[in-house]
Amino acid sequence: MKSIVISMAVAAGLMVAGSAMATDMPAVAKKNNCTACHSVDKKVVGPAWKDVSAKYKGDAAAFSTTLPNKVKKGGSGSWGKMPMPANPKVSDADMAEIMAFIKGL
């Protein structure tokens, strides 16, 4: 009985830790104000980043060109009527980190 309780406690702890790690936005996303419109796992104003990752899975050009261009120049139509405002001040290094995070979801 004691081993079952311990196993359940360990499993619960791992689930909580995994959930916390999965939903933590990288600091660079917070720094560039991405969190005002996006979250990792639910739609806010813009799509959840997990949904973006799933939509473009296997499309390397999306993460190296298409999505960074949309962030820098803005755009609309991919996820509904709400436009993505331009954010041209995101540095190339920050963009690479953000895209790697989204791609890895």
- Per DSSP, what are the bridge partners of residue 43? 38
21, pLDDT greater than 50: no
Domain that holds residue 49: 26-103
Residue at 58 is within a domain: yes
- Percent of the chain whose predicted confidence (pLDDT) is above 90: 70
Those residues with Cβ within 8 angstroms of residue 81's Cβ, 6 or more apart along the chain or in another chain = none
Q: Which band of pLDDT confidence, cut at 50, 70 and 90, is reported for residue 4?
A: low
Task: Identify the CATH number of the domain in which residue 79 sits.
Answer: 1.10.760.10
The span from the CA of 60 to the CA of 31, in Å, is: 25
Instruction: Please answer whether residues 103 and 89 qualify as being in contact, where contact means their C-beta atoms are separated by less than 8 angstroms.
Output: no
Tell me how many domains the chain contains: 1
Query: Residues 46-94: pLDDT tens digits?
Result: 999 999 999 999 999 999 999 999 999 999 888 988 899 999 999 999 9
For 22-44, what is the mean pLDDT?
91
> Residue 18: its pLDDT value, please?
43
Q: CA of 95: how far to CAs of 12, 21, 76, 99, 102, in Å?
A: 34, 20, 19, 6, 11
